[in-house]
Amino acid sequence: MSSTIYLLTTLDIHCYPETEKDVPLWLEETLKLLDKFSINATFFFPAVIAEKFARYVRAILDKGHEIGCHGLTHESEEQYNLMPYEKQSAILCEAKKRIENVIDDEVISFRSPIFKINGDTIKALQENGFRLDSSVNSQRIGVFSSDITNTGWIYSPRKPYHPSFDNPFVRGGSSVWEIPQSSFIFPFISNSGIAFGGTFMKLFFRMLYIESRFRRNPIVYMFHPEDIYSRRDRLLYKFKWSHLLPSKKTGFEIRKILFHNKRPEDTSRQIIGLMEMMRNSNNIEFLTFRKMLRLLESKDG
Q: Is 147 in the site for Zn ion (CB under 5 A)?
A: no
The minimum distance between CB 239 and Zn ion, in angstroms, equals 24
Residue 115 Cβ vs Zn ion, minimum distance, rounded to whole Å:
8
CB of 98 to Zn ion, least distance (A): 17
Which residues inside 127-146 make contact with Zn ion, applying CB under 5 A?
Answer: none
CB of 13 to Zn ion, least distance (A): 8
How many of the other CB atoms lie within 10 Å of CB of 86? 10
- Is 227 a binder of Zn ion (CB under 5 A)? no
At 263 the three-state DSSP class reads coil
Contact 23, 225 (CB under 8 A): yes
Q: Which of residues 10-69 bind Zn ion (CB under 5 A)?
A: 12
Nearer to Zn ion, 16 or 214 (CB): 16
106 secondary structure, DSSP code:
-
- Residue partners of 98: CB distance under 8 A and separation at least 6: 47, 48, 50, 51, 72
R_g (Cα) of the chain, nearest Å: 18
Which residues have C-beta within 8 Å of that of residue 233, sequence separation ≥ 6? 264
CB of residue 111 to Zn ion, shortest distance in Å: 7
Residue number with CB closer to Zn ion (76 or 101):
76
Of the two residues 187 and 296, which places its CB atom closer to Zn ion in the complex?
A: 187
What is the Cα–Cα distance from 225 to 241, expressed in whole angstroms? 31
CB of 222 to Zn ion, least distance (A): 9
Given the rule CB under 5 A, which of 7-15, 245-253, 263-271, 290-298 is the region that contacts Zn ion?
7-15
Query: Cβ-closest residue to Zn ion?
Result: 12
Strand runs (DSSP E) across 200-294, as ranges? 219-223, 246-247, 251-252, 284-286
Q: Which of 224, 291, 175, 219 is nearest to 30 (CA)?
A: 224
Residue closer to Zn ion, measured from CB, 74 or 131: 74
Closer of 43 and 165 to Zn ion (Cβ):
43
The residue ranges that bind Zn ion (CB under 5 A) are 12, 113
